[in-house]
Amino acid sequence: MAQQILVTGGAGFLGSHLIERLLDRGDYVLCVDNFFTGTRRNVEHLMDHRHFELMRHDVCFPLYVEVDQIYNLACPASPIHYQHDPVQTTKTSVHGAINMLGLAKRVRAKILQASTSEVYGDPAIHPQVESYWGNVNPIGIRSCYDEGKRCAETLFFDYHRQHKLNIKVVRIFNTYGPRMHPQDGRVVSNFIIQALQGQDITIFGEGLQTRSFCYRDDLVEGMIRMMDTPDAITGPINIGNPGEFTIRALAEQIIELTGSKSKLAFRPLPSDDPMQRQPDISQAEALLGWKPTVPLREGLVKTIDYFEKLLKEEPLH
């Protein structure tokens, strides 16, 4: 049976792909976005779809609609964007969670929070398991995002305990793919743009810090599976690719795939940048029957193709 589904942050990189999947299976989708980092271009091709509706709205303010499910993705997710206005970032995470949880409580909707691996901070255990409480700096330049998302998780579980709300929480690890913002400062988009433009590839530190990169299709599949689990499964559950790569190895692979003549340029490591990031996905495998299927090389080829076309249409200055 078709569901009425609200996706906040729906015009963003992940939100737009999630909406496509929901529409493909016959659901009605209300996309809510204030276009701080999302863009109308990401959902323009859906505007004529009879099950799709777009609303410009900031989740820091209450919303009154009738829905069966809520995917709460609203929040800038890259350091450049969330550090641009850190107070607003915290408000989006915390006030946004309060408003969406209030809506879910009023209409008895099931609600999923798109949390983040950043709740683990610079982890003292590796790989990261959901039971790990994290090692987070509460007053650093990344804290608006890290602590905002941690507080949102707190709110979700308090609403669950206090109001018996049906909640789902996923912790998203590094994700990449077409429709990433070309100037979001994330490592995959940064490296691809620099390589395609023949610029030096900027690497912080010695490039020995590791990340795990999950292709967008795998990530969306994990979120939908989590939403569709029985009520007793609340999470948090890690969603990400456990394949671990150094930043330097990623840069070298992108140079090879683009055929670029770019060189590696090393810069000082930013404050609070975690050295290791790798999800333990045993819970996702056991409870969701989920694991990523797209290898890094295959996903990078598709992402490079997207950015090549984008740069031809809209050159960056």
User: Residue 81 domain-assigned?
Assistant: yes
User: Residue 33 domain-assigned?
Assistant: yes
**Does the active-site annotation cover 145?**
yes
- Residue matched to tokens 């209030």: 102
Domain count, the chain: 1
pLDDT of residue 309: 94
User: Residue 223 domain-assigned?
Assistant: yes
User: Residue 186 domain-assigned?
Assistant: no
Catalytic residue among 145, 159, 176, 215: 145
pTM: 0.94
8 Å CB contact between 83 and 141? yes
pLDDT band, very low/low/confident/very high, at 176 (cuts 50, 70, 90): very high
Which CATH number covers residue 289?
Answer: 3.40.50.720
Query: What is the rounded average pLDDT for all residues in the chain?
Result: 94
pLDDT of residue 69: 98
pLDDT band, very low/low/confident/very high, at 316 (cuts 50, 70, 90): low
Q: How many CA atoms lie within 13 A of 275 on its CB side?
A: 8
Show the domain range for 39: 4-175+215-241+279-293
Given a cut of 80, whether residue 270 has pLDDT beyond it is no
pLDDT band, very low/low/confident/very high, at 85 (cuts 50, 70, 90): confident
User: Residue 28 domain-assigned?
Assistant: yes
For the stretch 6-43, pLDDT in tens is: 999 999 999 999 999 999 999 999 999 999 888 999 99
User: Residue 259 domain-assigned?
Assistant: no
pLDDT of residue 84: 79
User: Residue 30 domain-assigned?
Assistant: yes
C-alpha–C-alpha distance, residues 240 and 12, integer Å: 18
Give the number of other Cβ atoms within 10 Å of residue 63's Cβ.
Answer: 19
Given a cut of 70, whether residue 132 has pLDDT beyond it is yes
User: Residue 93 domain-assigned?
Assistant: yes
pLDDT of residue 199: 95
Residue type, 2: A
